[in-house]
Structure 1
Amino acid sequence: MKKREVKVAVVQSAPILFDKQSAMDKIDSMSREAAGQGAELIVFPEVFLPGYPRGLSFGARVGSRTADGRRDWERYWESAINIPGDETVIFGELAKELGIYLVIGVVERDQEFSTGTLFNSMVYIGPDGNLLGKHRKLVPTGSERLLWGQGDGSTLTVIDTPLGRIGGLICWENYMPLARTAMYAQGIDIYIAPTADARDTWQSTIRHIGCEGRCYVISCNQYATKDSYPADLACYDDIKEDADILSRGGSAIVGPLGDYVVEPLYNEEGILIATLDLAQVVQSRFDFDAVGHYSRPDVFQLVVNDQKQDIVRRKS
């Protein structure tokens, strides 16, 4: 039986960049703080573990890469995690202890083919401690393409839970109309949109998604300062002259008619708490349902390839 009201928490923070233990410690402490306020679903930002390397070039220019940049990337690779792996077990133990759902942005190391590929992923952990699913970002944005591989349609994940149907897309994937439609078509109620975009225009995006998808939108960004960057990074000079605040945040919660449930938080670390009334999701679809009565399948159709794309297929 679905709950009518769900208490959610959005964590706006950042770990020490490339420091896995720093991220794990913050996930533990801030989850406990949010659960202590009654949160049943707790969301952490895009690649919270081990941090979003905003401003770093990794020594890359068109046509060349530097040895120092490769060393920084190796450090990033070392701080990534496997899914499933030791860290997801720890997440599961925490979620089970607190009786919560956890959604965490992580850098995932490929385990199946080439261990040299990383993915921008988010993991879903249930209150029974189980790994419920993951999503890999379909298209890394701009220079991110040198850091992360492309996900496929097999992880366009929406999970049916007692709190509602939970899923989401990462950062600029949310600008992809067909990707959003694929999520709406799975009956999503609580749409999770972790991001690294702190611009005012991002707020327009999440409000549009709430109104278009007739769902709650949880947007989660890091609040990051230069203090969270290790000074011994080979490419530290990339951000040396930048402002102290590298990401101002802007985490927010939006309702199914596009209005703020919790307005954006800027320029500080914090936890946003809200109670979501899922009856409003049903009520909002009275006059608009993008993949239901307001669709025109005789005119428009979307084909989603949800098969895992393997580069190697072994015949027995």
Structure 2
Amino acid sequence: MDKTNVKVAVVQAGSEIMDKQKGVNKTVRLLEEAGREGAKIVVFPEAFIPAYPRGMAFGAVVGSRSSEGRKDFLQYWKNSIAVPGPETAEIGEAAKKAGAYVVIGVIEKDSESTQGTLYCTALFFGPDGELLGKHRKLKPTGSERLIWGEGDGSTLPVFDTPYGKIGALICWENYMPLARAAMYEKGVQIYVMPTADHRDTWQATVRHVAAEGRCFVLSCNQYSTKADYPEDIASRDEFADLPDEMTRGGSCIVDPLGEYVAGPVFGKETIIYANLDLDKIAESHFDFDVAGHYARPDVFQLTVNEKKKTNVTWNK
């Protein structure tokens, strides 16, 4: 195995909205395709299963919620997944067949609370099909806070692989300087950024993170249209004034000096491939190492609480 080069795949595709089994099936098909192309790391977008519900209001305004919106949330909840669960087992089997590390965004049902909280989560699978772990989004943005809970410091993993250390922060978490600092201190080298942000400004963020962290960044977004949304959702009529292209993509791969290796690609579903020269990581640290010779721990320090948060502590 050549540990100085690795072929990676960034999947830019739309969700099978509100249908977790179709979403798993699509994930498996795309993993099979990436595996045939020889990709050893495969990345999927934020909330790929069952959806990033862009444009959906869930019947909510300040001070009230509608019964129709609760029905929409019920459908969203029913099509979110337990971790681990049958859906993760299927994805793990596909990762094993592809022989690839896989990072995929899902909406996770809290396994310890059978009725309620959902989390925007990135799952990590090994090439043996095992679920390595997960990262729950620490801070949902704007109206996302209506439908997703907040993760905590117990799910901030960085995983050792033959191709370097892999970790992920989701979408606007990457605007949180202290969250990035924690990832850099853990030595992340393949930095995965699943997102729902298709603006031009996101490209500046991706390139900045790569140059700041001296790491490869794999940024992955969906491509979706209004036609992808079921007709029976309560907020469907609110889509009339929205553009047909709901999410335009923008997925890309950036090297440790902030230069594009592949992409960005807009306006279509596709899989972006690139061969990464991993020696560039060490080369880039020659003049800047954010957690090493360019750090000033005598002036600045960050404390990270990695304990799982609970509402109740039992003293027995």
Q: CA offset at residue 16 of structure 1? A: 2.4
Query: CA–CA distance in 2 between the matches of 1:2 and 1:33?
Result: 22
- What does residue 208 of structure 1 align with? 208
Give, as a single letter, the amino acid of the residue that structure 1 aligns with 2:107: V
Structure 2 contact 34–98 (Cα < 8 Å) conserved = no
Cα offset, 1:162, TM superposition: 1.0
Deviation per CA, 1:105-157: give whole Å up to 9, x if none.
00000111463000000100001111101000000000000010000011111
Aligned residue in 1 for 2:299: 299
The whole-number CA distance in structure 1 between the counterparts of 2:209 and 2:186 is 15
Residues 194, 221 of structure 1: 8 Å contact kept: yes
Measured in 2, the distance between the counterparts of 1:74 and 1:133 equals: 26
Q: Alignment partner of 1:106: what SS?
A: strand
Other-structure match for 2:181: 181
* Corresponding position of 1:96: 96
Counting only pairs closer than 5 Å after superposition, residues 1-316 of structure 1 correspond to structure 2 as 3-113=3-113, 115-316=115-316
Count of residues in Structure 1 that have an aligned counterpart in Structure 2: 316
- Matched-pair contact (CA < 8 Å) for 2:12–2:220: yes
2:263/2:272 contact within 8 Å kept = no
8 Å contact kept, 1:2–1:164: no
- State the AA in 2 paired with 1:54: R
Structure 2 distance, partners of 1:113, 1:229, is 28
Residue 96 and residue 146 in structure 1: after superposition, are their counterparts in 2 closer, same or farther (change >3 A)? same
Q: Deviations over 1:208-252 (max 9, x none)?
A: 000000000000000000111001111111212211100000000
Unaligned runs of 5+ in 2: none
Structure 1: where are the runs of 5+ without partners? none
Structure 1 counterpart of 2:183, one-letter code: M
- Measured in 2, the distance between the counterparts of 1:44 and 1:239 equals 25
CA distance in 2, matches of 1:292, 1:72: 48
* Distance in 2 between residues matched to 1:265 and 1:64, nearest whole Å: 40
CA distance in 1, matches of 2:62, 2:288: 46
Residue 206 of structure 1: SS of its match in structure 2? helix
Does structure 2 conserve the Cα–Cα contact (< 8 Å) formed by 1:9 and 1:274? yes
TM-score (norm. length: structure 1): 0.98
* Distance in 2 (alpha carbons) for counterparts of 1:2 and 1:77: 43
Contact 2:135/2:155 (CA < 8 Å) preserved in 1? yes
- Cα separation, 2, equivalents of 1:124 and 1:22: 20
SS of residue matched to 1:51: coil
Residue 181 of structure 2 aligns with an amino acid whose one-letter code is: T
Relative distance call for 1:305 and 1:86 in structure 2 (3 A) is same
Distance in 1 of aligned mates of 2:111 and 2:179: 25
Q: Matches of 2:73 and 2:260 in 1, distance apart? A: 38
TM-score by length of 2: 0.98
Partners of 1:31 and 1:67 in 2: CA distance: 38
C-alpha distance in 2 between matches for 1:254 and 1:232: 40
**What is the alpha-carbon root mean square deviation over aligned residues?**
1.1
Task: Write the distance in 1 (CA, Å) between the matches of 2:191 and 2:140.
Answer: 20
The structural deviation recorded for 1:93 is 1.0
